[in-house]
């Protein structure tokens, strides 16, 4: 059964059609939009600051979303995929973004729209990722612009697929209903 807990009287809130895997953890001041999914062993910890998540966001297996105590909340836009084992901490992720598997996005970063953070990248504290670009490496640097084909072929495809995958688990859904 998923762990969904209040912290200091702040309860996680869920939009419509959200899937939370049975072993995911969501605590505290978390507001999630519609058609979101939090997958196996993922943690969304709004205990020390708030976490706002838009519509059609998938937080894949083993990912961790957190923030910095009283300093840096985490804001995630719409149509965002956060890959397996990624860490997104105290930052802003705008719309139409893919955060690759195993990547780290640190405090005060801004990941602008239509961007991709390549798998395994480390986006250092305070980095501003240009809209429509791919950042890769340790530390992550811009490697190229994102084509329209990549926006539709990867960013949209993955986000849409995770809405479909979540529908396969409707009968097991652990998220509270609105």
**pLDDT of the chain along its 178 residues, tens only?**
899 999 999 999 999 999 999 999 999 999 999 999 999 999 999 999 999 999 999 999 999 999 999 999 999 999 999 999 999 999 999 999 999 999 999 999 999 999 999 999 999 999 999 999 999 999 999 999 999 888 888 999 999 999 999 999 977 665 554 4
Cβ neighbour number for residue 45 with a 10 Å cutoff: 20
pLDDT at residue 59, rounded to an integer: 98
pLDDT, position 88 = 98
Instruction: Tell me the pTM.
Output: 0.95
Long-range contact set of residues 79-83: C-beta below 8 Å, sequence gap at least 24:
79/54, 79/55, 79/155, 79/156, 79/159, 80/54, 80/56, 80/159, 81/57, 81/155, 81/158, 81/159, 81/162, 82/57, 82/58, 83/119
Q: Strand, helix or coil at 161?
A: helix
> Which residues partner with 102 through β-bridges?
none
Give the per-residue pLDDT at 153.
Answer: 87
Asked: is 3-169 a CATH 2.160.10.10 domain? The reply is yes
**Is residue 5 helix, strand or coil?**
strand
């Amino acid at each position: 059964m998923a762990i969904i807990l209040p912290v200091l009287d702040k309860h996680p809130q869920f939009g419509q059609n959200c899937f939370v895997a049975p072993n995911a953890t969501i605590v505290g001041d978390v507001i999630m939009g519609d058609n979101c999914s939090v997958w196996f062993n993922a943690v969304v910890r709004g205990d020390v600051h708030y976490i706002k998540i838009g519509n059609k966001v998938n937080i894949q297996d083993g990912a961790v979303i957190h923030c910095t105590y009283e300093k840096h909340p985490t804001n995630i836009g719409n149509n965002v995929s956060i890959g397996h084992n990624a860490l997104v901490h105290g930052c802003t992720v705008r719309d139409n973004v893919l955060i690759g598997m195993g990547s780290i996005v640190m405090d005060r970063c801004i990941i602008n729209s239509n961007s991709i953070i390549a798998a395994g990248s480390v986006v250092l504290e305070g980095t501003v990722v240009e809209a429509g670009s791919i950042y890769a490496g340790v530390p992550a640097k811009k490697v190229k612009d994102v084509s329209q084909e990549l926006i539709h072929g990867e960013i949209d495809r993955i986000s849409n697929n995770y809405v479909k995958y979540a529908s396969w688990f409707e009968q097991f859904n652990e998220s509270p209903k609105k």
